Each structure stands twice: as C-alpha cells, then as structure tokens.
Amino acid sequence: MSTSTPVSSASSAAAVRPRPRSALGKTFQSLSTYNFRLFFIGQLISNTGNQLTNVALILFVLKLGHSGLAVGALAACQFGPLVALSAWAGAFADRSDKRRMLLVTQGLEMAQSVTLAVLAFLPHPSLALLYALAILGGVLLAFDNPLRRSFVPEMVSKDDLPNAVVLYSTIVALSQVSGPALAGALIATVGFGWCFALDAVTYLAVITCLVMMRERELYRQPPRARTGREVREGLRYVVSVPRLWISFAMFALIGVFTFNLRVALPLLVTGPLHGGDVAFTALYATLSCGAVIGTLVVAHRRLVELRHAVTGAFALGCAMLLLSFMPSVPAAVPVAFFLGAASMVYMTASTTIAQVGTRSDMHGRVLALQTALIGGAALVGGPIVGHLADLAGGRAPIAIGGVVCLAAAGLGELGRRRFSRADSAAS
C-alpha cells in the first residue's frame, strides 16, 4: 500500500470544494469531506458504545466492590497502560499505516467487549477478572488513541483541520449523552451484560466505515524511519513550544483532581445527593448535553488558542465548586449542564492545540504524550479521588477539584503572558 499522497486528487478536491458561508456550514465544514464524514459516523456510533461500557463498568464495579476505592482502582487499571505505553505507541503511529492499524485495534477492542459481556452474564462475576479486562482495554487504547487522533489530519485539508479536530471532540460529547442514557435503560431492564454486548456490535460500524474510505483521497505523510530516539525527540519538541508545555502542565493538575469525574460523580450522586444508578446516568447525560453545546460553540467560534483553554479551565473550576454545594440531584442538573460545557471548552481547546499547533512529523508522538498525561492523571487521581470520598464524603473531591482547576487557570494565564513571544517564535 502506497504511503505517498496523490496530490492531484486530494488537493484538487479541496480546491474545488466551495467554502461554507452559513453559520451551520462553518460549524460543520469538515464534514463535506467524504473520508472524514465516514470517520465521523463510525466513531460516533462506536464511541456511544464505549461510553455505554464505561458507565456500565463503573456501576458494575461499584456494585461488586461497594467502595470508592474499588472504582478508583478500576480507573487505575484502565489508564495505567496509557502511561506506560503511550509514548512508544505515538512513535509507532507516526511510522504506521493508520487506517490498517485502526482496523486491527478496533477488532481487538470488539473482542474485549465480547469478553466483558460473557463475564457479566455469569452468576458470580470476578472483580479481579474485570480489572484484568480493564488493563487489556488500556493497552489497546494506548495504541488506538494516537492512531485515531493522528489519522484526522490525513483525511482533511489543512484549512479544514481545526474544524475537523473540534468536531472529533464533538463525537465524544455526543456519545456521552447517548451512552449513559442507554446504560441506565439497559441496566434497569436487562442487566449489565447487554451493555457490553451492544458495545461489541457498535465496533462493526467503525470497521465498515474504515473499509469504505477512498484511499486515494487521503492526505498521507511519508512514514518516518525508526531511529530509536522518537520518544526523546517528542519530549524535546513539546518542551520547546510554550503553548504545548503550558497546556500540558495545566492538564497535569486539572486531570488528577478535576477530570476524574468518572470516579467522583457516581460517589457524589449515590452518597450526599442520595440518588441511584438511574439518577447518576441522568446527571451524566445532562453533563454530556452541556459538553455537546460546548464543542459546537468551539467549532463555530474557533476557540482553539491557549487563552481559550485558560478561560475554559476557570469556568470549569467555578462549575465544580458550585456543584459541590448542590443539595439534591434535581438542583445539580443545571450545574451539571454548565460543567459539561465548560469542561469541553477547556478540553477541546487543549487537544486542538496539540493537533493543529504541532509539526506534522510530530503528530503521533505529541498526541500520545498528551494521552499518557490523561492516563497518568487517571492512574494517580482515580484512587486518590475515590479514597478521599471514602474519608471525607462525596462532596470533597468535587470541591477540591474546583480549587485546583482555578489555580491551574491562574498559572496558565501567567505562563501565557510571559511566554507568548517565545511561543510565536517557536511556531
């Protein structure tokens, strides 16, 4: 399979395609590209299944383990492999045929979901086996994530790339609405096993869309030869670009204490707010609805600079503090919506900085380092947040996360002002 881009087909297609003028067309402009449209559809379906499994697995472990620490340990199992493997997986992505390798990783993840379903249907499922499958999922995600994210620039023109990256974040937000809603309905009616079984079926959609892509229209980069120094080169590159290391440093703080909502939120709902599984999935879906609005605002307004990440972090900190004082699930609903919007403005700006503001030959490594940072935050923060909730109650992790987020926003703004000129020079 050729790895060079047939410029005459891909670039000419971009040249003749009229630029969108309406507000709606501007927001969704990258979906006019056939390959990215297929990718968007497949990933939206598959990510809905992923979110379905994520929520079901959290509640399943909470049911079997009966503690916040058990849920925190699950997060560590899921994200630990990201820390250990992501840097090397990013170097692998930079020298791979991303479409072919995605077919492999997606197929293996489908097999993992099938295994989870079989285990959940057993009368006495083993918590240790659930943790083992979570570790396997983390290994697969370590390779799949940089492949998927670095594949986006190969599907769209350079002009459409910022919009495509933001719309990719919209996929996650949309799936966080439908996934938890499905999880709540299935858990309440037919049980946990069918959640994992349905997730396995959704992988067929993304595999089909990958197969249907027009290979000649991909904007491929020539593969880099293996040097043995890829990881070090990636680290040096991040350190040399202020907007990258500032955004990474902000996430190191925010990720540990604020973005462990998958651990903190169910403990808040089932503890101080006196809700159950259905209340948690409803509140999670509300949060995700806010996230969808946040991504659409970012897509339309192009809020993809470091200053937008700082603003999003500040809003996220305020929302977290407000949520920690809510007396009931109904009262928390509007705050959760605001929290979802703020979190996605922050997260989308941060991830877009890593994709759009990065040299093409460094895409896989920079994105993998960001993935490792996300995994490291969950690995360290998940057990901390879970244990903190056990000791001080479900409100404590939410409140502390808000304070840390505000501190990170302040430090990020100081760094942005101090290194703005150096950042422009590095670009």
Per-residue pLDDT of 61-120, as tens digits, reads 888 887 777 887 887 788 778 778 877 787 788 778 889 999 999 999 999 999 999 999
For 148-162, write each residue's pLDDT tens digit. 888 888 898 878 887
Q: Is the dihedral of CA 366, 372, 375, 379 positive or negative?
A: negative
Q: How far from 175 is each of 46, 54, 112, 297, CA to CA, in Å?
A: 8, 11, 19, 17
Nearest of 151, 175, 214 to residue 43 by alpha carbon: 175
Q: Report the distance separating Cα 334 and Cα 338, nearest Å.
A: 6
Residue 16 pLDDT greater than 50, yes or no: no
pLDDT > 90: percent of the chain: 26
Mean pLDDT of the chain: 81
Q: What is the pLDDT of residues 43-62, one digit of tens each?
A: 989 888 988 898 889 888 88
SS (H, E, C) the chain: CCCCCCHHHHHHHHHHCCCCCCHHHHHCHHHHCHHHHHHHHHHHHHHHHHHHHHHHHHHHHHHHHCCHHHHHHHHHHHHHHHHHHHHHHHHHHHCCCHHHHHHHHHHHHHHHHHHHHHHHHCCCCCHHHHHHHHHHHHHHHHHHHHHHHHHHHHCCCCCCHHHHHHHHHHHHHHHHHHHHHHHHHHHHHCCHHHHHHHHHHHHHHHHHHHHHCCHHHCCCCCCCCCCCCHHHHHHHHHHHCHHHHHHHHHHHHHHHHCCCHHHHHHHHHHCCCCCCHHHHHHHHHHHHHHHHHHHHHHHHHCCCCHHHHHHHHHHHHHHHHHHHCCCCHHHHHHHHHHHHHHHHHHHHHHHHHHHHCCCHHHHHHHHHHHHHHHHHHHHHHHHHHHHHHHHHCCHHHHHHHHHHHHHHHHHHHHHHHHHHHHHHHHC
Nearest Cα to Cα of residue 241 among 355, 375, 343: 355
Amino acid identity of residue 422, one-letter, is: A
pLDDT in tens, 300-338: 666 567 888 899 899 999 999 999 999 998 999 999 999
Q: pLDDT band for position 23 (50/70/90)?
A: low
Residue with tokens 């799949």: 144
* pTM (predicted TM-score): 0.68
Give mean pLDDT, residues 373-393: 78
Looking at residue 227, its pLDDT comes to 57
- Compute the distance between CA of residue 331 and CA of residue 325 in angstroms, rounded to an integer: 10
Q: Which of 30-34, 189-193, 223-227, 367-371 has the lowest mean pLDDT?
A: 223-227
Q: pLDDT at position 54, please?
A: 87
pLDDT of residue 365: 75
pLDDT at residue number 9? 42
What pLDDT, on the 0 to 100 scale, is given for residue 198?
Answer: 93
Give 383's pLDDT tier (boundaries 50, 70, 90).
confident
State residue 222's pLDDT score. Answer: 63
| Average pLDDT value for residue range 157-170 | 81
pLDDT at 103: 94
Instruction: Output the CA torsion sign for 400, 51, 371, 221.
Output: negative
Amino acid code (one letter) for 258: T
pLDDT of residue 4: 38
- pLDDT score of 13 more than 50: no
